[in-house]
Amino acid sequence: MNQQEIQSVKQRFGIIGNAPALNYAINVAMQVAATDLTVLITGESGSGKESFSKIIHSLSARKHGQFIAINCGAIPEGTIDSELFGHEKGSFTGAVDSRKGYFETTNGGTIFLDEIGEMPVGTQARLLRVLENGEFIRVGSSKTQKTDVRVVAATNVNLMDAVEKGKFREDLYYRLNTVPIFVPPLRERGTDIELLFRKFTTDFAERYRIKPLQLTEGAKQTLIGFPFPGNIRQLKNIAEQISILESEQNKPIDTDTLAKYLPQWQAPTQSLALFSGTHNDNFSERELLYKVLFDMRRDVNDLKKLVRDVLGNEHDSRQILSNHKDLFDSIAPDAEPRQPSDMGTGVTRFLPALNGSRPETPTRPAVPPSENYGHHPPVQLFDEVDGDINEVTEVEDVTHETEEDDSLSLERQEKEMILKALRRNNNKRKYAAQALGISERTLYRKIKQYEIDEE
């Protein structure tokens, strides 16, 4: 299918977005629609799985037949057999008359079974017979009936896990999964989030006769960066809230205003109390990376300023170091030791501790001044603040060491957060990934990368 045909289907069914994963899912749905193959649509709750079932039905030869969507999780276990396959009079208490089931009334059409993973095991056996032979038996009857129905199923759970736990039949899984279609979650669709938000706010503005909302560039990036566990359904609710409650604003919605409507979330530059002494369970990988990067940037800027002042004021070095005492006090006592041999040729001394005693294991090398400060003589390093200046030792290229140290620090922090999440969730990857705000596949890759033992 070409892009023009895909865009035509999007307009027909009101699908907004241009994410590659979304276009691929639509393409698969268009190709399989002309057949009678069983389709299994997977994706998170609220990601729009029902729209794909409608695409398949409307583009198939059954488009003039009946289409019915059934939520298997919303029907009680005791009545789901009767709802799907019908029942005979007197077959159970309250069955005062015979009744046709959905598979009988939609003969020649399409049935969409949403939340198929919630279907009872007994009902799964009946469904398997329909898929295999096109036959079913009403509850309380012994007569076999025929039906010609196409089944499109959807689920937001991992059916293979359900099979391993004995909650879902393995033969039914493979029968349903003839053609799989994966609907991507909203957080993986990038700028589609902004397009959907604009569409929703415009619709609400027309419905409530208010002025459409606009977002600042910062608010747009905040919106795109939010994980949206409820997907499109959650985005629509947030858009409606803001449209009503912020309708009197005459200026675009900024980041702070938008953050008030995003549950359990704050802008990365304002929250991120993960390493500042405040315990926070609702962290994400994005927030972790922002925090570490901002801390690195602040430390590097402080070191640049310190080295520049030392180079420019050799005679007042003691006073300069005293003014920056907090920079050295913040060095963790349990930091990994760095040997002089690790820092490259020519560097044999480190900046001293301010109390007059040399630290046992230096933790950070001197950082050369930025090129913006011009050319300076070689750096002079001191054994003690009150002592004489030792011989001049040239500091050769150590920038790569700082970058390597920063990279290792970031990886170490990331590994610690993964270990913390795994311990908190009893080594269950699914819940640990949700706590970290990353996908289970990404967590698995990180576990392999850092050689984390889950035992």
pLDDT value at 264 more than 90: no
At which residue do the structure tokens 């953050």 appear?
Answer: 259
CA angle 41, 114, 188 (to 5 degrees): 45
pLDDT band, very low/low/confident/very high, at 411 (cuts 50, 70, 90): confident
User: How far apart are alpha carbons 382 and 315 in whole angstroms?
Assistant: 12
pTM for the full predicted model: 0.58
Question: Which residues in 46-162 belong to E strands, given as ranges?
Answer: 67-71, 110-114, 135-137, 144-146, 150-155
Which tokens belong to 206? 């027309």
What average pLDDT does the structure give for the chain? 79
CA angle 279, 281, 287 (to 5 degrees): 90
- pLDDT number for residue 57: 96
pLDDT band, very low/low/confident/very high, at 306 (cuts 50, 70, 90): confident
Kindly report, residue by residue over 113-159, the tens digit of the pLDDT.
Answer: 999 999 999 999 999 999 999 999 999 999 999 999 999 999 999 99
Q: Quote the percentage of the chain above a pLDDT of 70.
A: 71
- pLDDT number for residue 297: 78
pLDDT band, very low/low/confident/very high, at 288 (cuts 50, 70, 90): low
Q: Is the distance from CB of 430 to CB of 440 less than 8 angstroms?
A: yes
Kindly report, residue by residue over 322-379, the tens digit of the pLDDT.
Answer: 666 655 554 544 444 444 444 444 443 444 444 444 444 444 444 444 444 444 444 4
Q: Which has the closest alpha carbon to 330: 304, 305, 365, 295?
A: 295
- pLDDT number for residue 316: 63
User: Strand 144-146 to strand 135-137: parallel, antiparallel, or no bridges (unpaired)?
Assistant: antiparallel
Kindly report, residue by residue over 185-234, the tens digit of the pLDDT.
Answer: 999 999 999 999 999 999 999 999 998 889 999 999 999 999 999 999 99
Neighbours of 323 (CB within 10 A): 12
Q: What are phi and psi of 286, to 5 degrees?
A: -60, -45
- Sorted by sequence, the CB contacts under 8 Å of residue 253 that are 6+ apart come out as 213, 214, 215, 216, 219, 242, 246
DSSP assignment, residue 139?
B
- pLDDT number for residue 372: 44
